[in-house]
């Protein structure tokens, strides 16, 4: 998974152009859950800064981390000048300080499961907040989705990443909330959904697919073939169901990771 996560740098500009950002409602949700001012924040797997720019505002010192230098280069073009950046994978971060908020935007599944929550707890202030969120963009029209699946089938059975802990899709608590509920270092685990629909030209939707890891794993010639096959079956404008799925947890004040 770590090698797969490092493929995004090759499409950093497309990632910035075609991946949707995050709504202001997400910031409000996280801050309301915190219940106290958030003064410092650490972002895991910041990419091109789609979520960074949501949290980087006066009064919040944000440090954005990512293992891919190309993604960080793109991020620096779009975030406020005061944002700190660190080139590092989550597993390489040193817990030399703690943050009021640690968050990951569509990136947590790239981290290694072994010791994940002990490492996370070492970065969060007691009583501080961990947040994980993402916005899987799916075609809203079942007929269009079926046509795309048929066009994609000769190349990929699916372009989705399965739940890291095997939680079924319709289970009331999804990953990583399932793991957080079992962690001795976090409490008050919540799952929230921000409903969202997006519309975009067909060419932009294909551009979005060009930033999805399943396609990046294909040989270059096959990538171009599958993009052309998909674009041929799309209407001029596509509608996406792009709900933001949010998981929140609070760092237990009395439990210390070892």
Q: Each residue of 101-144: pLDDT tens digit? A: 999 999 999 999 999 999 999 999 999 999 999 999 999 999 99
117 vs 240: CA distance, rounded Å: 32
**How many Cα atoms within 13 Å fall on the side-chain side of residue 105?**
27
All domains in the chain, ordered by first residue: 2-138+164-197+242-251 (3.40.50.150)
- Confidence check: pLDDT of 244 > 60: yes
| Secondary structure element (H or E) that encloses residue 241, with its range | strand 237-241
55 vs 79: CA distance, rounded Å: 10
- Confidence check: pLDDT of 4 > 70: no
CA distances in angstroms from 172 to 176, 178, 191, 239, listed in the order given: 12, 10, 9, 26
Q: Each residue of 191-215: pLDDT tens digit? A: 999 999 999 999 999 999 999 999 9
Q: Is 52 helix (H, G, I), strand (E, B) or coil?
A: helix
- Confidence check: pLDDT of 74 > 50: yes
Pure H helices in the chain = 2-5, 12-18, 24-34, 52-55, 69-76, 116-121, 142-152, 177-182, 202-209, 213-216, 220-233
Q: How confident is the model at residue 2 (pLDDT cuts 50, 70, 90)?
A: very low
Q: What is the pLDDT of residue 258?
A: 65
Residues 50-66, mean pLDDT to the nearest whole number = 98
Q: What is the pLDDT of residue 255?
A: 75
Q: Each residue of 18-42: pLDDT tens digit? A: 999 999 999 999 999 999 999 999 9
Residues 3-10, mean pLDDT to the nearest whole number = 69
Residues 227-246, mean pLDDT to the nearest whole number = 98
If you write DSSP's letter for every residue of 201-224 in order, what string do you get? EHHHHHHHHTTSHHHHTS-HHHHH
* Residue 161, φ and ψ in degrees, nearest 5: -95, 125
161 vs 253: CA distance, rounded Å: 33
């Amino acid at each position: 998974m770590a090698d797969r996560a490092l493929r995004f740098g090759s499409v950093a500009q497309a990632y910035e152009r075609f991946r949707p950002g995050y709504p202001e409602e997400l910031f409000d949700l996280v801050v309301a859950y915190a219940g106290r001012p958030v003064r410092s924040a650490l972002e895991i797997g910041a990419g091109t800064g789609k979520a960074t720019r949501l949290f980087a505002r006066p009064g919040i010192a944000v440090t954005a981390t990512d293992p891919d230098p190309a993604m960080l280069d793109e991020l620096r073009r779009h975030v406020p000048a005061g944002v700190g950046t660190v080139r590092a994978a989550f597993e390489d971060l040193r817990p030399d300080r703690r943050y009021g908020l640690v968050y990951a935007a569509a990136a947590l599944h790239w981290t290694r499961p072994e010791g994940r929550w002990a490492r996370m707890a070492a970065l969060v202030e007691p009583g501080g907040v961990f947040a994980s969120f993402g916005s899987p963009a799916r075609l809203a029209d079942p007929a269009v989705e079926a046509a795309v699946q048929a066009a994609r089938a000769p190349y990929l059975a699916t372009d989705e990443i399965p739940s890291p802990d095997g939680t079924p899709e319709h289970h009331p608590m999804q990953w990583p909330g399932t793991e957080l509920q079992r962690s001795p270092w976090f409490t008050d685990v919540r799952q929230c959904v921000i409903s969202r629909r997006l519309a975009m030209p067909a060419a932009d939707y294909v551009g979005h697919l060009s930033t999805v890891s399943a396609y990046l794993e294909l040989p270059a010639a096959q990538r171009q073939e599958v993009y052309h096959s998909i674009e041929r079956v799309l209407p001029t404008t596509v509608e996406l169901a792009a709900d933001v799925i949010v998981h929140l947890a609070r760092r237990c004040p009395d439990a210390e990771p070892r």
